[in-house]
Amino acid sequence: MIEYIRLKKGEQDRRFGTSFFLRIGGLNKMNPYSLLKMSDLSNEDIFSILHDAKLFDNSRKDWQLPMQNALVANLFFEASTRTHFSFESAQLQLGCKVADFQAGSSSVTKGETLYDTVKTFESIGYGCVVIRHSQDEYFEQLKDIRIPIVNAGDGKGNHPSQCLLDLLTFYNEFGTLSGLKVLITGDISHSRVAASDKEALERLGSTVRFAGPKEWEREGYPTMDFDEGIQWADVVMMLRIQKERGASLQGMSNGEYLEKYGLTKERYSHMQDHAIICHPAPVNRGIEIDSDLVEAEKSRIFTQMHNGMLVRKAIIKRAFGFAPFEEGQK
């Protein structure tokens, strides 16, 4: 029999803590505070994380985990600036002690598996690991790990923390996540952001459409003409070309790609007055977006980065077993 308990708001689940896992029929279930993909979260979970993130930007800005040894390891097997260091900023602000794992100077170079690497951190007292990896759904090999795992991006599969910061950005802008029209354009086929955002936004009542080179279309991802989409959308989300996953400019120069598939000043002028520009970054200026538009009036690109730190504070708080702040708290 499995027993679930509902925490009082703001209280830590001391019984589950960071070492809890379920065993059902002999199969291990990962820690319930892991966050691997958006489907791990109910709609209520999503809004609880967003609520906590908003409080972390005002009345709860200085809140820290009420525990002395909140040890977190960040295991990034792919290059990252925003995700890596916004997680680290979030962790340090929460009072965590952070290990910044470097694969190139670790036993990974001697053939150690991902499982053994993560199991090592669990065995020596770490309470949470944040992992980015080039393999799609790398976490499938970590089902016996008991501490919470936070997925910071797996191949072209999932990027839940990026999705949540996008949702926070949209919600702050429009006051709802229902009824929004979102256009995601660029390298769709290699984008974990496109995958996570589509899953969550459609579930929450938004309409999502995709545009870009035909070679990068993805089955089940409805497309529309880019220029029509620019005039239709509340949110225009630009994606970079992921050369590290085999994408290329399809024989075009940077300027040719921008004119055909990028956000130019001409296209910008046709956006709705209330519409905003987003981008998960890094931005390739002059390719998917005109450099002058990165900080244009409609751009929320750097706002997304700030929101990323807030959302990741909420994710780490949740990983250590603390329930959402009270609904009425400010």
**207 and 241 fall within a common domain:** yes
**26 and 154 fall within a common domain:** yes
Tell whether the torsion through CA atoms of 126, 130, 135 and 138 is positive or negative: positive
**32 and 134 fall within a common domain:** yes
**179 and 289 fall within a common domain:** yes
Q: Give the mean model confidence (pLDDT) for residues 91-117.
A: 94
**112 and 153 fall within a common domain:** yes
Q: What is the percent of the chain with per-residue pLDDT over 90, rounded to a whole number?
A: 82
Q: Which domain holds residue 202?
A: 162-301
- pLDDT tens for 245-258 read 555 666 789 999 99
Q: Phi, psi (5° rounding) for residue 101?
A: -70, 135
- pLDDT tens for 45-56 read 999 999 999 999
**95 and 35 fall within a common domain:** yes
Long-range contact list for 241-247, CB < 8 A, 24+ apart? 241/186, 241/187, 241/284, 241/287, 241/288, 242/156, 242/187, 242/190, 242/191, 244/78, 245/155, 245/156, 245/190, 246/190, 247/187, 247/189, 247/190, 247/216
Kindly state the tokens that stand for 251. Answer: 């024989």
Is 123 in contact with 71 (CB distance < 8 Å)? Answer: no
* pLDDT score for 28: 46
- pLDDT tens for 256-291 read 999 999 999 999 999 999 999 999 999 999 999 999
The verdict on residue 16 lying in a domain is no
d(CA 264, CA 255): 10
* pLDDT score for 251: 78
pTM for the structure as a whole:
0.90
pLDDT band, very low/low/confident/very high, at 153 (cuts 50, 70, 90): very high
The verdict on residue 199 lying in a domain is yes
58: which DSSP letter?
A: T
The verdict on residue 68 lying in a domain is yes
d(CA 8, CA 42): 18
**202 and 311 fall within a common domain:** no
- pLDDT tens for 114-124 read 999 999 999 99
Q: How many CB atoms lie within 10 A of CB 119?
A: 17
Q: How many domains does the chain have?
A: 2
**141 and 236 fall within a common domain:** no
Is 248 in contact with 241 (CB distance < 8 Å)? Answer: yes
Q: Give the mean model confidence (pLDDT) for residues 76-94.
A: 96
Among the listed residues 321, 315, 319, the one whose alpha carbon sits nearest the alpha carbon of residue 51: 315
Q: Is the pLDDT of residue 17 over 50?
A: no
The verdict on residue 327 lying in a domain is no
Q: Using N-to-C axis directions, what is the helix angle for 160-174 and 192-203, rounded to 10°? A: 50
Amino acid at position 172, single letter: N
The verdict on residue 8 lying in a domain is no
Find the CATH number of the domain harbouring 33.
Answer: 3.40.50.1370
For 314-326, letters b (16+ CB in 10 Å) and e give bbbbbbbbbbbbe
* pLDDT score for 304: 98
Kindly state the tokens that stand for 156. Answer: 């072209």
The verdict on residue 13 lying in a domain is no
* pLDDT score for 252: 83
Q: Phi, psi (5° rounding) for residue 322?
A: -95, 130
d(CA 232, CA 211): 12
The verdict on residue 330 lying in a domain is no
The verdict on residue 92 lying in a domain is yes
Q: Give the mean model confidence (pLDDT) for residues 176-201.
A: 96
SS (H, E, C) 145-181: CCCCEEEEEECCCECHHHHHHHHHHHHHHHCCCCCCE
